[in-house]
Structure 1
Amino acid sequence: MSRTVYVNGRYVPENEASVSVFDRGFLFADGIYEVTAVLNGRLVDFEGHVARLHRSLNELNMHLSLNDNALRDIHRQLIDKNGLQEGLVYLQVTRGVADRDFAYPDAQTPATLVAFTQQKAIIDSPLAERGLKVISLPDMRWGRRDIKTVQLLYPSMAKMEAKKRGADDAWLVDSGLVTEGSSSNAWIVDHDNTLITRELSRSLLHGITRRTIMQLAQQHDMKVEERGFTIKEAQNAREAFMTSATSLVYPVVSIDQRPIGEGQPGEIARALRRLYIETSLQALDAQEQT
């Protein structure tokens, strides 16, 4: 059955959806996006994703006329129209349509906004059960990795290289330190049970799931340290894991074919994943009752 998607104010069957060949997202990757998880038919961490969307818009001097309530309504309408219980809502905003020119069009040029749903098993994920194998690759992306742009060719190439080597994903390395995964934030757990993840900067995406996991860890008296770490330190860690809206928490069981710990999903990563899911569902239930 064809999905219903959103394109510039209209809900249409996916096979009828289109944007102009002159859209700057198509011509220049001049666009940004957000992906929000859906559990039990409801949006998870939506406020955080919208806040980051606004940050990306501001950093690129892009304009979007819709307010947060309208954006939320688009998401909810798509969930309802597609009967989505578990999965994702993808939202993309580009600078809009203009004749091809490296210079930006006028700021009042209407943005292009598209959104669609994807079904995905998030809670009962096979990858969460078995853990991920990752490889390390040099981070060759542009310098503003903190902006969630649609410039995703190198992360796509990194994932394909990982698959070629029999792994699931890649952790990217710049100046000897891990920045993040190809589409996730990277974490390790040292032998004192301290959670370590790279500090926020322009070098990596300011992950919404990363932020929530950090809050949950601190609420449960887990020590968190924000700093860079090397691949060697990660290989010698007690545990490793990654976080993102599409995966929540995925344990990492090997890096460059070297097992992490016992080569099995770690206890802390599993506990954080359970805690994130339980807390998110409780928060959604509470919102529904108010």
Structure 2
Amino acid sequence: GVLTEYTSWRWCLLVNVPVALLAMAAAIRLVPESRTDGSTKYDVPGAVLATLGLMSLVYGFTKAATDGWGAGVTVLFLGLGVLLLVLFLAWEARTPNPLLPLRIILERNRGGAFLSSLLVGAGLFGSFLFLTFYFQGTLGYTPLEAGLASLPVTLGVLVGAGIASVLLPRYGARGMMIVGPLIAGGAMFSLSRLGVETSFVAHLLPAEIFLGLGMGLVFVPLASLALVGVSNNDAGAASAVLNATQQIGGSLGTALLNTIATTAAATYLAANLPPTQAIGAEAAVAGYTTAFAWGGGIIALAAVVVAVFVRAGKDEVANVPLVPAGDPA
């Protein structure tokens, strides 16, 4: 909010450059070298197939917002994205140096963790976009005020992560990773009840806190569950897959929910002619709330995935390799 209001939105991207340079300099001095055994060739074909496949899916979702789901260009890019990702998996199964060793994701517990991470990323990051739109476009907040108004989510994450850190050694990951998405999904459904003049204190504040609380209960056990039963050679790859699934979910979710929101807003406008300024504001909110409802459903689906696939007990989670799994948030 500070960067956008007092400099330019471009600094939201540029600020990462000095931070990355400092991190790189610190890593050179402080991080010990580590090398894996065996061949270390790069899987260039796998990287190309995965990148093009994900780009095609995101572009297909984006075109659906402007051209419709049945448009030829939408169907073409969505179909092409699926085909390229299938080819990616087929290639990974046969290449001796895969970018994504399939043994990492095919193990039941880790597979459930990665799939739930993808769903959480899709529902969470896509919905943050519409929360910002609502604050600034509907409630008239400045970028700084919108940033401050989003802080309760961070507070909830901190509280939830602290609770999860205490409960994880005692009860394992499965229970929290079922309860967490249900709490966060419920908070998202609460956001789907927003109106043009909804009170921040009475409605938005508790919804944001519970959203963060649910996510905090997910992030900590998720990082441990993703490394259950993984070998030392695969620990780095498993950690990378966890972070990648969250980012991929965020990209796909943003594109998909944006399409859903745009469609809902257009439908509301078409049903409430003539389009006055008030109707336009209501249509925008109708789009946001529809996206929140879908995002809540996607996040809640992660709880179902965990309930079906995850069977690791507390002892298995407690004995994961001591390799940083990154921060899924």
Normalised to the residue count of structure 1, the TM-score between the two structures is: 0.25
Decide which structure has greater helix share.
2
Normalised to the residue count of structure 2, the TM-score between the two structures is: 0.23
Which of the pair has more CA radius of gyration? 2
Decide which structure has greater strand share.
1
